[in-house]
Amino acid sequence: MTEPRYSLFPDHDSRTAADHALTERLGVSRRLMPSRDVVPAGPSGEWLRELRNMRFDRPRELAGLTEWVIDGLETGTVQVTHPGYLGLFNPAPTFASECADRIASAFNPQVCVHSHAPAAVEIELHVIREVARRAGMPDGSGGHFTSGGSEANLTAMLCALQAACPAYGDDGVCAFARPPHVYVSEESHLAWLKIAHAGGIGRNAVRLIQTDGRGRMDPDALAETIATDISSGRMPVMIAATAGTTNAGMVDPLTRCGELAREHGMWFHVDAAWGGALIASDTGGALKGIERADSITIDAHKWFATTMGAGMFLTSRPDVAAQAFRVDASYMPRSVAAKDFFVNSIQWSRRFVGLRLFLALAAAGWRGYAGHTERAIRLADRLARRLQRDGWSLANDSPMAVACLVPPEGHEAVRSYVDSVHRDGRFWVSTAVFEGRTVLRACITNGRTSERDVDALVHTLKAVAPSIWSTQAESDLSVSEPHRTDLD
C-alpha cells in the first residue's frame, strides 16, 4: 500500500506516469462518446453501493479511483459533450480551454491579488478589455471573471444599487429613501429573484415586464411600469435586458431599454450570458444597443465553449464596482482597485478561469469564434426548415442557434416527441414554455454537432410521428364515443 503522503504528493516519475494514463483513458472516453447514448442508464447499483461504502478510512490507489470515477460519469451523467446533445448551454469545451485547466491546476495561482499572480491577473484583464472592446464598450471599461452568469448579474445589481445610492455600500437598503426596484422581462433568467433576495431588496423588488408576444420585453409596458412605480413612491434603479433568453434565444429591444434607463437615471445592464458570443460575428446586428450598457454579463462557458464555469462581468463604470466591493484587511497587501479583484468583485480567492478563454481566443481568433457561432445558427436553421417541410411550425424567431418547434399534432404532443427522442438515446432535446405554450426546444452550442446529426434527429422525429398519430387517434376516439352515445 502506498504511503498516504506519497498518494497526495507523488514523485515526478509517478506523477508523470499517472498523467499519461489519465490522458489515455480520457482519450478513449472521448473517442467512444458519439457511440454512446446521450442519456445513459445511470450508475449501476454496484457503483452506488461502492460509493456509499467509501468511508475514507483507508487509502486506495489513485489509478483505480480515477477509473472508477470515469466509469460513473460515463454511465451516470447526461453526456453534454455528445454531438447529439441539443439541450441547455453546457458545451463541448474547446481543447484550448481543457489545456488551460491543466495549466491552471499545475500553477494554482490566486488571481484575486495582483502582487501574488501578476502574469495571471494581466492575462485576465487583457481578455476582459478585449471582450469589452469587441462588444463596443468605451475605452477604460473593465470587469472580471465570475463563477457564472448569476454572480455576474448579482454584481451588476449591486453596482446599480451603489450608483443609485452611494450610502448603500455601508448602510444597505436602509440608505434608500424609497424602495429600489429592478426591471426584467418575464422571459428573463429568473435567477434575478434569488439575486434580489441576496442583495437585500427582496424578490418583490423584481418587476417582471410582459413580453411583446414574440418573447421580447415590451418597451411600452416597461415604460408604463416605471412611470407607475415612480408615482407610487418606488425608486427604479436598473433595467436588465436579456440578449438571448434561455427558452428561445430572443433579444430584448436593447436600444430602447438603454434610452429608458438614461431617461430615468437608471443603471442599464444586458444579460448576454448565452447570446454574448455573437459579438464575434460581424453579421446581423442582433446585439445592436449592447454597447450602451453600463454592464454586461457573458458566460465564456456557454457559447464561447470553455469548461465550466467561467462567467464575465464587463462594465463601462469600473469605479462603481471598486466602491461597491471596497475592503481593507491587514493580512492583505496594499490593493490597487483596477487590478486586485478582491476589492472590485464579490470573490476573494478564485481559480485562474480567464486562461480558458484567453487560450481559445488566441488560438482561434474572433474569426474562428464567428465561424463557430454562425455554423451553429445554420444548423439550427437547417433543423427548423427540414421539420417545417413535414408540417412542424417554428414558434420563435431567434438570431441565435435555438429552435422552438411545434409538431403537426400541436403543443400537446410535444412531450410525447421529447420522451420518444430520449428513449431513442442518440439525442437530447427539451421541452420549454414559450409565450405560454409548450414547445420542443433544440439548441446547438456543440462545435462537434454536424449536419448529419441534425438530419438524423429529423429522421428520428419523423419516425416517432406514426405512434403519436396513433395515440392521438385513440384519444380522439375515447372522447368521441361517449359523445355519440349521448347523441343517440
pLDDT in tens, 62-105: 999 999 999 999 988 899 999 999 998 888 999 999 999 999 99
Residues 6 or more apart whose Cβ sits within 8 Å of residue 46: none
Amino acid 6: pLDDT: 65
467 lies in the same domain as 403: yes
pTM: predicted TM-score of the whole model, two decimal places: 0.91
pLDDT band at 432 (very low <50, low <70, confident <90, very high): very high
386 lies in the same domain as 248: no
Amino acid 339: pLDDT: 85
427 lies in the same domain as 349: no
CATH number of domain containing 473: 3.90.1150.10
184 lies in the same domain as 244: yes
Q: Is the pLDDT of residue 488 over 60?
A: no
What would the grid cell of residue 63 be? 489509478
Q: What is the pLDDT of residues 48-67, one digit of tens each?
A: 999 999 999 888 889 999 99
Q: What 3-state DSSP class applies to 299?
A: strand
345 lies in the same domain as 370: no
134 lies in the same domain as 208: yes
Taking the C-alpha atoms of residue 157 and residue 143, their distance in angstroms, rounded to an integer, is: 14
Domain range for 278 is: 99-361
Q: Is the pLDDT of residue 445 over 60?
A: yes
Q: Is the pLDDT of residue 5 over 70?
A: no
Phi-psi region of 233 (alpha: psi -120 to 50; beta: other; left: phi over 0): left
In-domain check, residue 176: yes
Average pLDDT, the chain: 90
441 lies in the same domain as 333: no
52 lies in the same domain as 106: no
Beta-bridge partner residues of 403: 442
110 lies in the same domain as 207: yes
Number of domain units in the chain: 3
**Pick from 34, 61, 76: which residue ends a domain?**
76
Q: Is the pLDDT of residue 460 over 70?
A: yes
Most confident of 116-120, 267-271, 409-413: 267-271
**Pick from 304, 329, 361: which residue ends a domain?**
361
442 lies in the same domain as 356: no
The H or E element containing residue 31 is helix 12-32
Q: What is the pLDDT of residues 135-170, one digit of tens each?
A: 999 999 999 999 999 999 999 999 999 999 999 999
Q: Is the pLDDT of residue 465 over 90?
A: no
Q: What is the pLDDT of residues 8-42, one digit of tens each?
A: 888 899 999 999 999 999 999 999 999 899 988 88
